[in-house]
Amino acid sequence: MRVLNYIGGDFHTPKSGQFIPNIEPATGEVYGELPDSDERDVVLAVEAAKKAFPLWKQLPLEKRFEYLYAISQRITEQLDELAEAEARDNGKPLWLAKKVDIPRAAANFRFFASALLHFFSESYEMPKGVLSYVLRQPIGIAGCIAPWNLPLYLFTWKIAPALAAGNTVVAKPSEITPVTAFLLSKICQEIDLPPGVLNIVHGYGNKVGEAIVKHPDIKVISFTGGTETGKRIAAIAAPMFKRLALELGGKNPNIIFADCDYETMMQTTLLSSFSNQGQICLCGSRIFIEKPLYERFKHDFVERTKAMKVSHPFDPEAKVGAVVSEQHKKKILSYIALAKEEGGTILTGGTEVHLETPYDKGYYVAPTIIEGLPQQCRTNQEEIFGPVVTLQPFETEEEVINLANDVPYGLSATIWSQNIRRCMRVAEQLQAGVIWINSWLLRDLRVPFGGMKNSGIGREGGFEALRFFTEPKTVTIRY
Ligand code: NAD
């Protein structure tokens, strides 16, 4: 599988002539390659996007809707092929890619196709014939940079609103999972998306990503990825006065009160801990359990975690697939070693898992539960982004709110209790941009999505995203 850049409606090899090997996490083998692009390819993409912008922004809304809707339909038609590509490229179970990643990518395009028809701006009247109204105009070229954990899902979550708002786009998927973005570019060609409206440049973050951030003609950047990368991007983009949305890391609390609906909580907590190998920014990696429930929860959670099958992505029984790369596997294992040094007890997992050939060189980590760690240790403060959770008991509502908030991050949180007053009281005090009560990962695409503190700035989702990708211009008239 040779991935190519998609620029000006055509497929291109990179200017450097070099390619990066693409590794399949399930087997550890090279199975393809992607362009090792650089600034020159980004410049080409920006030229194409600039050329396409006047046409795209003036297109009747219905026409723009039709293009985006056609992409959505093609994604749905190619669900099997795209899901297989995602599972192979990322290591996630195929059933998960079929159930979540690809349907959601289609939904992103469908949702923003429809949203653009309903988007509105405000107007204000003053007495004696003064009217102000707000034009919401596309900004120009949007730069969209995405991570590897939900490759097509998060890529389209940026691209779709940017295009819906009338911008043209230069986008970069993660170099670790480039394939579904490449398949998306083929879909764009098939549906005759006008050349240059969407351009996809593949390659490393420090070359292609930074060239996108630095390019003076790209005025708006939407980035999802790690907090350190976000800092670097902010440092470059801020003095250039670029509009910036940063969706970064998390260290999310999962707060369980003794009066919760136990079985629903348990089933959901298994998912919120280990889905996608724990590589979802919204996974609850710190589990706080009210003391009277602690021992029962610990026993059941450990037993049910032990029963989760770690296997290759194409095993329908796999609950936990491969983590995304060798480097990432090492990072996760090093955090488990650190947790032991910090005084933690491994209740289950804590090791690599070795499968039979041809998966014996793949990257598998057993779902891991740790207890006995202090709040201030690195394991409880830093994002691991793998199938690793810690357990901490608590006694009072006030105590758990303090513990939950006592990290540099503020992305999401989960609360379990049948006392709805308490849930709402706690939700009000938690420092997180997204909070679920008695549920997890229920996503309504209309609501604002994003984090506070080191989890980022700006919000995606719904009209919030269309506002982000447009420039408000106020016009005041006396009549
Ligand atoms: P990453 O920061 O390493 O990379 C993300 C993207 O940025 C990749 O495309 C990468 O090539 C690019 N990049 C790297 N260096 C760059 C630079 N200097 N300039 C511009 N672009 C650069 O993150 P990752 O490892 O791919 O993803 C995992 C991280 O993403 C985790 O921290 C996770 O929490 C976070 N994440 C956050 C959300 C959210 O919505 N808040 C969602 C998913 C993942």
Residue pLDDT, tens place only, 102-141: 999 999 999 999 999 999 999 999 999 999 999 999 999 9
| HEC profile of the chain | CECCEEECCEEECCCCCCEEEEEECCCCEEEEEEECCCHHHHHHHHHHHHHHHHHHHHCCHHHHHHHHHHHHHHHHHCHHHHHHHHHHHHCCCHHHHHHHHHHHHHHHHHHHHHHHHHCCCCEEEECCCEEEEEEEEECCEEEEECCCCCHHHHHHHHHHHHHHCCCEEEEECCCCCCHHHHHHHHHHHHCCCCCCCEEECCCCHHHHHHHHHHCCCEEEEEEECCHHHHHHHHHHHHHHCCEEEEECCCCEEEEECCCCCHHHHHHHHHHHHHHHHHCCCCCEEEEEEEHHHHHHHHHHHHHHHHCCCECCCCCCCCCECCCCCHHHHHHHHHHHHHHHHCCCEEEECCCECCCCCCCCCCCCECCEEEECCCCCCHHHHCCCCCCEEEEEEECCHHHHHHHHHCCCEECEEEEECCCHHHHHHHHHHCCCCEEEECCCCCCCCCCCECCEECCEECCECHHHHHHHCEEEEEEEEEC
pLDDT score for 465: 98
Choose one of 224, 279, 285, 468 to mutate for the ligand 1 pocket test, by most ligand atoms within 8 angstroms of C-beta: 224
Relative to the CA of 228, which ligand 1 atom is closest?
A: 2
Q: Where are the domains of the chain?
A: 5-248+455-478, 253-443
The proportion of the chain whose per-residue pLDDT surpasses 70, expressed as a percent, equals 100
- Beta pairing class for 218-224 and 141-145: parallel
The CB of 213 under 6 Å from ligand 1? The reply is: yes
Beta bridge partners of 353: none
Burial of residue 307 (CB within 10 Å: 0-12, 13-18, 19+) is exposed
pLDDT score for 161: 98
Per residue in 300-334, pLDDT tens? 999 999 999 999 999 999 999 999 999 999 999 99
Q: What is the mean pLDDT of residues 9-38?
A: 98
The CB of 230 under 6 Å from ligand 1? The reply is: no
Q: What is the mean pLDDT of residues 157-168?
A: 98
pLDDT score for 330: 98
Q: Which of 24, 210, 247, 383 is catalytic?
A: 247
Q: Which two tokens stand for residue 76?
A: 């749905």
The mean predicted confidence, pLDDT, of the chain is 98
pLDDT score for 432: 98
Q: Which of 144, 260, 281, 423 is catalytic?
A: 281
The CB of 203 under 6 Å from ligand 1? The reply is: no
Distance 249 CA to ligand 1 centre (A): 8
Confidence grade of residue 272 (pLDDT, cut at 50, 70, 90): very high
CB 87 within 8 A of CB 314: yes
CB 340 within 8 A of CB 111: no
pLDDT score for 144: 98
d(CA 396, CA 62): 54
The proportion of the chain whose per-residue pLDDT surpasses 90, expressed as a percent, equals 100
The answer to whether the Cα torsion of 184, 190, 193, 199 is positive or negative is positive
Distance 375 CA to ligand 1 centre (A): 26
pLDDT score for 150: 98
Per residue in 442-463, pLDDT tens? 999 999 999 999 999 999 999 9
Measuring CA to CA, which residue among 44, 31, 106 is closest to residue 75?
106
Relative to the CA of 449, which ligand 1 atom is closest?
A: 40
pLDDT score for 254: 98
Confidence grade of residue 223 (pLDDT, cut at 50, 70, 90): very high
Q: What CATH architecture does domain 5-248+455-478 belong to?
A: 3-Layer(aba) Sandwich (3.40)
pLDDT score for 194: 98
d(CA 202, CA 215): 16
Q: What is the mean pLDDT of residues 378-403?
A: 98
Confidence grade of residue 92 (pLDDT, cut at 50, 70, 90): very high
Q: What is the mean pLDDT of residues 78-88?
A: 98
Q: Please say if 247 is a catalytic residue.
A: yes
pLDDT score for 153: 98
The CB of 209 under 6 Å from ligand 1? The reply is: yes
Q: Which two tokens stand for residue 136?
A: 């919401």
- Beta pairing class for 130-138 and 123-126: antiparallel
Relative to the CA of 233, which ligand 1 atom is closest?
A: 19
Q: What is the mean pLDDT of residues 369-383?
A: 98
Q: What is the mean pLDDT of residues 218-224?
A: 98
How many Cα atoms occupy the beta-carbon half-sphere of 413 within 13 Å?
Answer: 27
Confidence grade of residue 370 (pLDDT, cut at 50, 70, 90): very high
Q: Please say if 423 is a catalytic residue.
A: no
User: Can you give the pTM of this predicted structure?
Assistant: 0.97
Per residue in 185-202, pLDDT tens? 999 999 999 999 999 999
pLDDT score for 455: 98
pLDDT score for 198: 99
The CB of 143 under 6 Å from ligand 1? The reply is: no
The CB of 433 under 6 Å from ligand 1? The reply is: no
Measuring CA to CA, which residue among 229, 254, 267 is closest to residue 412?
254
Distance 226 CA to ligand 1 centre (A): 4
The CB of 277 under 6 Å from ligand 1? The reply is: no
Q: Which two tokens stand for residue 203?
A: 């390659």
CATH 3.40.630.30 fits 253-443, yes or no: no
pLDDT score for 183: 98
Confidence grade of residue 472 (pLDDT, cut at 50, 70, 90): very high
